[in-house]
A and B are shown apart, each in its own frame.
Chain A
Amino acid sequence: MKKNLLQKSLKQLTVFAFIVFALSIPSYFLLVDWIWLKELDENNHLTAERIENEFNEQHISEEKLAESITFWNEIQPVSKIESARQPLSQDSLYTIRRQNTYAKKEAIDRFRGLKTNIRINNRNYVLVVETNVEETEETVAYIALVTLGFFLILVIGFWILNRRLSQKLWRPFRDTLQQLKSFQLHSQEKIRFQETDIIEFTELNATLDKLLQHNIATYQSQKEFTENASHELQTPLAVLKNQLDLLLQSADLTEKQYHIAEAMNKALIRSSRINKNLLLLAKIENSQFDHSTLIRFDNLVLHSVDALQAHFKEKNISLHTDIQQEVEVKANAGLAEVLINNLIVNAIRHTAPGCDCTIVLSATGFELSNSGQKALDPDLLFKRFSRMSADNSGSGLGLSIVWEICRLHHWSIKYKFENKQHIFSVQL
């Protein structure tokens, strides 16, 4: 699935944020728990000191003291004072989970305890102080809840920012893209990119502008080259042809010399044709033809068939036509004529004398079929200078021109061999 750039980065950011937040939960918990226990230990120490001082300040007798401690132990279930013969070698700190004696219902709570030595009336006692600590699960749950909240705020924030960014920040980019989409090389229209203060886009636009300028310049020079090549080649060919014509007229020309001149003439005629066809191809490829005029295709077909009738007769080819009337298409009339002529002439050239040829025109297509012996290679058929038959008097460009004309007009041309028939069909 295709996503836009910001959506992609949003997904990555979200995953990253999720990982960071997830890791932060145990960290926060450990930190909070550590601070919590430290504070409680300090508090327990203070409590122990306070108890010790309170008892010492009473200055009471031994019996009274024992009685007081017993009474104290009774009302302070979380703390305990016991007489000890030997003082503890060191204080002990511990965490236990047990029933909370103050709690009204059954509940196990966590307690932090301190077991330390105190001296009352110069006698050693061991004091146990315990303080309720928040449970681990609860702490984790609260932290996780808050973290999730922040995570959601972050993601929603990203999403909103993203939308605003993609609308604002990417506007010049989208503008450039739109300009490029509508750009057509042969339309001669210059592209003007929107000014932007973003370095990357300015750079992109400058690079694109350079590229386009180069393309336009290349296209222009290519077009000029076509015209120049045409002029430069046609003129010497014309000189050659005319000089040969003059040579043919000289009074003292021998028959042998005539045949040499005629052979040259033939070669010259062919090279002029190849040259003309190459130029035509180049011009079609450069889209130098306007093909948006509505033309009557049927008239063109009828005209060509009429003009070539004599050639069909001469080769004794029986021609069958089924031409629908008033077939209108958007095309270049000159090129459409070339297409029709080339296909028909091709059929005449390659149909054996006495065989059949069929021309069908409907509103959607133009189809031409002629008898043949075996199928031709459709990959080579429309290639330049790839001749299918031993007969090489043609320019070798006729079908390439047909192909290019179809491409220019967005028509599709297909070749198939069925029932001993070569079938060329053009989908108009």
Chain B
Amino acid sequence: MKILVIEDEKELAKSIVEYLAEEQYLCEVAATFREAMDKIDIFNYDCILLDITLPDGNGLKILEELKNDNKQDGVIIISAKHALDDKIKGLQLGADDYLTKPFHLSELTARIYSIIRRKQFNNANIIKQEELEIDLLAKTVTVNNAVLNLTKKEFDLLIYFIGNKNRVLSKSTLAEHLSGDFADMLDNHDFVYAHVKNLKKKLSDAGCAPYIKTIYGTGYIWKGKG
């Protein structure tokens, strides 16, 4: 899997590459608009992380270029602007997702995971994890071919865990992911605890191995094969 990180902030690009490298992703970095355009012309990527505020050009132009060339690369816009206009414009231009800085690397990984699955398997979008089968499009989960009923939040959480296999996920990170738009005022960590507990219980009741483990007392980790 090849990922292009278009980001002018060196430290940020470095940490993204370091985090993603552990997921067996092959990362390349472009720090400027020109560099990015050069790379896009020559190579194909599974996913492009695009910072739209670059020193020598607007990242949205890169999106337009990709669209004109009919490239199938998945694009996640990462922006510090938090401007609604940019978000709408970006998604209209064919970006697959939009993340506002600052974000958690686990959040980014989960999104990259979903996009790559979606792009690669098109309609048959199924993740298999031993006895677990997840249909990303239908949003259904089966354990040993038996359908597992999960709430929207629990399904969301499951995908997040699967997208961050063998990673330590802290409670506050999960809380931020789960509360999404409402994170501004809901800072309830018991909420995370309750949801993880429910998910764990449902999975084990269905006969699933205990993949979710508690670590360091308050964190969680999904232990499983890559």
Contacts and interface: CB of A to CB of B under 8 A. Distances in A.
Interface of A: 227, 230-231, 234-235, 237-243, 245-246, 248-249, 253, 255, 258-259, 261-262, 265-266, 268-270, 272-273, 276-277, 279-280, 289, 307-308, 310-311, 314, 334, 337, 341-342, 345-346, 348-349, 393-395, 397-398
B167 interface: yes
Question: Which of B153, B186, B191 has the most chain A CB atoms inside 10 A of its CB?
Answer: B186
B170 A265 contact: yes
A346 B82 contact: no
Interface in B147-196: 151, 153, 167-168, 170-173, 176, 181-188, 190-191, 194
B94 interface: no
Given A242-B104, A248-B170, A258-B217, 14 more contacts: A238-B103, A240-B102, A241-B105, A243-B15, A246-B15, A258-B170, A258-B219, A261-B170, A265-B173, A307-B182, A314-B188, A314-B190, A395-B185, A398-B184
B185 A346 contact: yes
Contacts of B103: 238, 241
A245 B172 contact: no
Contacts of B82: 230, 234, 276, 279-280
Contacts of A310: 151, 153
24 contacts: A230-B81, A234-B101, A237-B102, A238-B103, A239-B9, A239-B11, A239-B12, A241-B102, A242-B15, A248-B168, A248-B170, A249-B168, A258-B168, A258-B219, A262-B170, A262-B218, A266-B172, A276-B184, A279-B82, A289-B84, A311-B186, A341-B184, A346-B185, A394-B187
Nearest to B185: A345
Contact of B173 (A245, A258, A272, A277): A245
Question: Which of B16, B53, B101, B191 has the most chain A CB atoms inside 10 A of its CB?
Answer: B101
A53 B131 CA distance: 160
B216 to A, nearest CB: 4
Contacts of B191: 311, 314
Q: Which 10 A-B pairs have the closest CB atoms?
A: A238-B102, A234-B80, A242-B15, A258-B216, A345-B185, A245-B105, A393-B187, A238-B101, A237-B102, A234-B101
Given A231-B53, A239-B11, A276 B187 contact: no
A248 B219 contact: yes
Nearest to B22: A249
Nearest to A335: B84
B196 to A, nearest CB: 13
B183 to A, nearest CB: 7
Given A245-B106, A259-B216, A235 B12 contact: yes
A262 B182 contact: no
Contacts of A272: 102
Contacts of B100: 234, 276
B64 interface: no
Contacts of B194: 314
Question: Which of A255, A262, A268 has the most chain B CB atoms inside 10 A of its CB?
Answer: A262
Interface of B: 9, 11-12, 15-16, 18-19, 22, 53, 80-84, 100-106, 151, 153, 167-168, 170-173, 176, 181-188, 190-191, 194, 215-219
A242 B219 contact: no
Contact of A394 (B151, B184, B215): B184
A268 B218 CA distance: 18
A246 B18 contact: yes
Question: Which of B168, B185, B217 has the most chain A CB atoms inside 10 A of its CB?
Answer: B185
A428 B80 CA distance: 32
Question: Which of B83, B102, B182 has the most chain A CB atoms inside 10 A of its CB?
Answer: B102
A341 B182 contact: yes
A277 B184 contact: yes
Contacts of A235: 9, 12, 80, 101
A249 B173 CA distance: 13
Nearest to B176: A269
A307 to B, nearest CB: 7
B44 to A, nearest CB: 26
Nearest to A395: B184
B80 A349 contact: no
Contacts of B80: 230-231, 234-235, 238
B219 A394 contact: no
